[in-house]
């Protein structure tokens, strides 16, 4: 016969006398509980540590599909842009690659903002046709 010491939530303890089989099972459960606690604690501490240091975890399965889809869309758009007139390609380059505003482009070309906006509208319509 062996004794198991039990501590209650209020801090009081009690000893219970059990058979050797029950005591062996109790020890086995305690070891398993310690291992599980260690695994959980180790995992959480390392994740928190990484998150605090700027490491972001992403779902690669979802990102892979999104990345392929974005790459395909980029290729289609680039192909459509190559079908535009050189002046239209230059305007697209100024807006999307050089980051210029419609106002800046209009001032540089001595035209109104509406002229540049109208050109862009026609370009977008053409690109949309090429994409379909």
Q: CA-CA-CA-CA torsion for 114, 119, 123, 129, nearest 10 degrees?
A: 80
pLDDT for residue 65: 76
- Considering only CA atoms, which of 87, 65, 73 is closest in space to residue 128? 73
pLDDT for residue 71: 87
Bigger pLDDT: 36 or 59?
36
pLDDT for residue 43: 57
Q: Which phi-psi region, left, alpha or beta, contains residue 45 (left: φ > 0; alpha: ψ -120 to 50)?
A: alpha
Q: What is the pTM of this model?
A: 0.49
Bigger pLDDT: 132 or 86?
86
Length of the chain: 132
Bridge partners (DSSP) listed for residue 3: 17
Rounded to whole angstroms, how far apart are CA atoms 100 and 86?
A: 18
pLDDT-based confidence at residue 91 (cuts at 50, 70, 90)? very high
Angle 90-95-97 from CA coordinates, rounded to 5° = 80
C-alpha dist (Å) from residue 41 to 3, 72, 97, 132: 29, 43, 48, 54
């Amino acid at each position: 016969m062996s004794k198991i010491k039990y501590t209650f939530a209020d801090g009081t303890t009690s000893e219970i006398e059990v058979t050797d089989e029950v005591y062996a099972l109790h020890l086995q459960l305690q070891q398993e509980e310690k291992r599980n606690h260690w695994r959980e604690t180790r995992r959480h501490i390392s994740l928190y540590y990484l998150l605090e240091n700027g490491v972001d975890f992403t779902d690669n399965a979802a990102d892979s599909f999104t990345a392929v889809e974005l790459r395909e869309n980029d290729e289609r758009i680039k192909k459509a842009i190559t079908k535009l007139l050189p002046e239209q390609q230059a305007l697209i380059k100024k807006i999307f690659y050089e980051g210029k505003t419609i106002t800046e482009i209009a001032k540089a070309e001595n035209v109104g903002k509406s002229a540049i906006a109208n050109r862009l509208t026609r370009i977008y319509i053409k690109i949309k046709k090429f994409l379909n």
